């Protein structure tokens, strides 16, 4: 029920997807501008005659023969302060992206909740204005909680894939990737109830934090986990198979769809878990019918 209804809700929210696409486009343009501002001083330090490919080849040749320092390594050594500072700024930039994406979760959840509870199509901009304070606090907390969790999953996945690849070769790589998907879907499921509950119960942010962390319930996770896993596999598969052939155009459109789909899975799961009736298009869904 969750997968079918969340897909229906996502497909019927084309206008919301386009607005999320516009929001993410603006966010990415800002991030790209900041990235270039951070990177430009390092590029200028190389000089006009610096060829990255040639210098890497010389470095690897020097390392393989006499173990001498290559020109690229010498450059890194002489500009280590600037490079360290740039790396720190890159990390902060990554956190900024996560904050920006997390910020839009609350307005998106607000739009979907109104659509499901009353059939009213709330504007995304109006939803952002109405929930701006909650969204900012939520984004800060959500980013602080999920970024370390995602880093742990990536590190664990790296070693797991390496171990399985050495033992089972190609089949091991496939199993390792599937395991990473399973862990990522679990992480998404563990944190998914927070946004729709805060919107659905009209909770203050501080109250929502206490309620979410103190009254954690695995029943909700079980409700949405299969849908989250299918979403992870489907979206990753589409991006992997179309990124090169379409020069990244399809992934640009797929990601906002996946974002709204994730929020729809969370919202449908919340209504089902609470056994509340909700709208999908013009249909009224009664979760009690399946119990």
Report the pLDDT value the prediction gives residue 73, as an integer from 0 to 100. Answer: 56
The predicted model scores a pTM of: 0.83
Question: DSSP letter string over 142-179?
Answer: HHHHHHHHHHHHHHHHHHHHHHHHHHHTHHHHHHHHHH
pLDDT tens, residue by residue, 95-151: 888 899 999 999 999 999 999 998 888 889 999 999 999 999 999 999 999 999 999
Report the pLDDT value the prediction gives residue 64, as an integer from 0 to 100. Answer: 44
Q: Is 280 helix (H, G, I), strand (E, B) or coil?
A: strand
Report the pLDDT value the prediction gives residue 2, as an integer from 0 to 100. Answer: 86
What's the distance, CA 211 to chain centroid?
A: 24
Report the pLDDT value the prediction gives residue 134, as an integer from 0 to 100. Answer: 93
Q: How far is Cα 264 from Cα 41, in angstroms, rounded to an integer?
A: 43
Report the pLDDT value the prediction gives residue 51, as an integer from 0 to 100. Answer: 53
Q: Of 252, 286, 269, 280, whose CA–CA distance to 22 is shortest?
A: 252
Place of tokens 């490079």: 83
Report the pLDDT value the prediction gives residue 49, as an integer from 0 to 100. Answer: 53
Q: Taking a C-beta distance cutoff of 8 angstroms, is the pair 149, 165 a contact?
A: no
Q: How far is Cα 128 from Cα 105, in angstroms, rounded to an integer?
A: 10
Q: Taking a C-beta distance cutoff of 8 angstroms, is the pair 58, 71 a contact?
A: yes
Neighbours of 142 (CB within 10 A): 21
What's the distance, CA 236 to chain centroid?
A: 12
Distances (CA, A) of 181 to 156, 188, 194, 208, 218: 12, 10, 21, 28, 19
Below-50 pLDDT ranges, the chain: 56, 59-60, 63-67, 291
Q: Can you give the residue ranges of every domain in the chain?
A: 19-215
Report the pLDDT value the prediction gives residue 46, as an integer from 0 to 100. Answer: 56
């Amino acid at each position: 029920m969750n997968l079918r209804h969340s897909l229906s809700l996502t497909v019927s929210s084309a206008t919301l997807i386009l607005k999320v696409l516009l929001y993410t486009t603006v966010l990415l343009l800002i991030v790209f501008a900041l990235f270039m501002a951070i990177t430009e001083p390092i590029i200028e330090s190389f000089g006009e005659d610096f060829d990255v490919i040639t210098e890497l080849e010389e470095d690897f040749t020097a390392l393989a023969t006499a173990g001498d320092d290559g020109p690229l390594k010498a450059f890194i050594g002489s500009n280590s302060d600037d490079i360290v500072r740039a790396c720190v700024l890159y990390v902060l930039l990554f956190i900024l992206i996560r904050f920006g994406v997390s910020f839009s979760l609350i307005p998106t959840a607000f739009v979907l909740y109104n659509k499901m509870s009353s059939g009213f199509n709330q504007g995304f901009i109006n939803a952002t204005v109405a929930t701006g304070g909650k969204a900012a606090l939520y984004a800060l907390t959500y980013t602080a909680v999920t970024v370390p969790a995602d880093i742990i999953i990536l590190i664990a996945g790296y070693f797991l894939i390496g171990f399985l690849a050495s033992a089972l070769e190609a089949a091991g790589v496939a199993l390792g990737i599937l395991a990473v998907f399973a862990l990522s879907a679990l992480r998404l499921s563990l944190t998914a109830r927070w946004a729709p509950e805060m919107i659905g119960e009209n909770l203050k942010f501080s109250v929502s934090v206490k309620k979410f962390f103190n009254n954690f319930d695995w029943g909700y996770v079980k409700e949405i986990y299969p849908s989250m896993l299918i979403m992870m596999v489907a979206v990753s598969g589409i991006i992997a198979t179309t990124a090169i052939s379409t020069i990244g155009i399809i992934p640009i459109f797929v990601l906002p769809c996946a974002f709204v789909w994730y929020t729809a899975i969370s919202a449908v799961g919340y209504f089902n878990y609470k056994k509340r009736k909700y709208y999908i298009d013009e249909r009224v869904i009664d979760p009690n019918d399946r119990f």
